[in-house]
Chains A and B, each alone.
Chain A
């Protein structure tokens, strides 16, 4: 119970900070000199007000020691695997514009296969190559969605 209260406290403080940032940006929005009309900042101000009230309510709720707050089922991922998944995702996003969809997808696919528990190298290599290429051509040729191939453009 205390664990969830701590989480709510962190979330409410973060949200209050977010509110402040959002309000600052809203205050600096361009205005239009048209009579009897609402400005572009009108709706963001409404949101700022609602968000502030709700974040503050969450903060109060987090401060009340007796409030019942159940902790959701945690994502029970071993930290090492979680770290690997994060590194894999970031590398994928960085490499995607350079390698294009085929190259980057082969890397992502093989990495994910390993993370999901596949340890046979031949299986990893075969399926990551095969499925990435099939999906690429399926979208490119049949669905006519032009997927960039990056440095492999000349080969594919």
Chain B
């Protein structure tokens, strides 16, 4: 066994790292179950607290939050029929009917165990696939990396948008924002308008806080009446641990959910909600009691729950090996790594192998603590659902402001954050997805750098992108992804007519 694996395991099993993982899980369960708060927002709120921590501890805490946030989302979906996170929407279909029958505890137990299995399965995928993929990625040269990043962007746009044009527009706007500041090759300042604060560019996390948190705060402003009443009707929780019969019923849906979730997690942009609904659909098709779906079927809870937790490990694979985020949360994790001076990508396994395996094993611990804390603390955790939004939302607003200030100790970043908040609201009004913009901001610099390095090394010969087999493959995949999106859009329009 490689010394990096052993050292990584030991690093992830240190007391401080374990405490960080457990704290992350605890916070994640709470944030996940609060309707109106997504995991991304939760991580954004917690991120400033991690600036002072060591990178391994900081990432361990965020991973705990990521994993448990997915599980926490199912609590409110089951008890209140309000999914705490978008990924828990499919869980509500059977979870809430079961809770209404007075079996809230049973439904929650099934969700927790299914989440655990899904998470564990994706850990195995991460552990086995990531090092191999990183080794292959080491062979990539600049043209290959450019084509890979380009492919990542196109697939994100096609997944994240109902309209491909709007998805691509969002990504291109993100790329335009990235060009503010110093040019990555020569250090020439661009679009800074003689503003000292803009020389180092717009910090991706500042933009992220604004784009995600402000529209969400505005969203919650619209339903204050619901906010006052929704949290009072959580049903009582009976015994939590699933019975043997339930476990037998859950086996196949959990396998389906885990496999689909892990696979879709690897694809950038697919995310938890898609995985959860696809798994739900397949579980129903394969079930002997498909007529019970939608009426409180244990299989209907197990499939989406295992899928959305399996997405977490899957999404970490492209993030760690290729530096390409699979979803907004992994994009924030990339930001967190960069803050600590670590660049995710194939070199992470070569230069910081111990750290890379540390992340993988922290993910393992996150799944363990997720199930332990959820099972033990469930009765107390669900009380969080009674916290009024009149206290919660202003607290989040303040944490967002402090978070954006703390990045560079600069008021300018607070103003930038609010501006991006406004942009987020406008984009929502126009039905332009935010995720491609965000991911373009993460990948934009790399895209420009690889493009220009490739052109310089080939003396401006554009065929360099077509002569390398890897590059050609990624460009073909990018072309296929764009073509597929156009075809799907065209088909859906035809069906509507």
**What residue in chain B is nearest A106 (Cβ atoms)?**
B398
Secondary structure dominating the interface of B? helix
Q: Are A109 and B431 in contact (CB under 8 A)?
A: no
- Identify B414's interface contact among A11, A70, A96, A109, CB under 8 A: A96
Q: Are A43 and B430 in contact (CB under 8 A)?
A: no
CA distance A36 to B452 in the complex (A): 11
- Identify B52's interface contact among A11, A25, A115, A144, CB under 8 A: A144
**What residue in chain B is nearest A58 (Cβ atoms)?**
B165
Q: Are B48 and A135 in contact (CB under 8 A)?
A: no
CA distance A127 to B169 in the complex (A): 42
**Using Cβ atoms and an 8 Å threshold, which residues of chain B touch A61?**
163, 165
Q: Are A68 and B496 in contact (CB under 8 A)?
A: yes
- Identify A143's interface contact among B52, B391, B431, B432, CB under 8 A: B52
CA distance A93 to B397 in the complex (A): 13
CA distance A55 to B430 in the complex (A): 13
Q: Does A129 contact B (CB under 8 A)?
A: no
Q: Knowing A29-B188, A116-B389, say if A36 contacts B220 (CB, 8 Å).
A: no
Q: Are A145 and B48 in contact (CB under 8 A)?
A: yes
* Distance in Å: Cβ of B438 to nearest Cβ of chain A: 17
* Distance in Å: Cβ of B270 to nearest Cβ of chain A: 21
Looking at chain A, what size class is its interface with the partner chain? 35 or more
* Distance in Å: Cβ of B464 to nearest Cβ of chain A: 13
- Identify B456's interface contact among A37, A69, A146, CB under 8 A: A37
**Using Cβ atoms and an 8 Å threshold, which residues of chain A touch B221?**
77, 81-82, 85, 115-116
One digit per residue, 1 when the CB lies within 8 angstroms of any chain A CB and 0 when it does not, for chain B 204-227 equals 000000000001001111111101
**Using Cβ atoms and an 8 Å threshold, which residues of chain B touch A101?**
401-402, 405
* Distance in Å: Cβ of A117 to nearest Cβ of chain B: 4
Q: Are B390 and A72 in contact (CB under 8 A)?
A: no
**Using Cβ atoms and an 8 Å threshold, which residues of chain A touch B493?**
67-68
**Using Cβ atoms and an 8 Å threshold, which residues of chain A touch B232?**
none
* Distance in Å: Cβ of A65 to nearest Cβ of chain B: 13
Chain A residues with a Cβ under 8 A of chain B:
4, 7-8, 11, 15, 22, 25, 29-30, 32, 34, 36-38, 40-44, 46-47, 50-51, 54-55, 57-58, 61, 67-72, 74-77, 81-82, 85, 89, 93, 96-97, 101, 105, 108-109, 112-113, 115-118, 123, 127-128, 131-132, 135, 139, 143-147
Closest 3 CB pairs of A and B: A117-B224, A112-B394, A118-B390
21 contacts between A and B (CB under 8 A): A7-B430, A11-B430, A15-B169, A25-B191, A29-B188, A32-B186, A47-B172, A50-B175, A51-B172, A51-B173, A54-B169, A61-B163, A75-B425, A89-B418, A96-B411, A116-B224, A123-B390, A127-B391, A132-B398, A143-B52, A146-B409
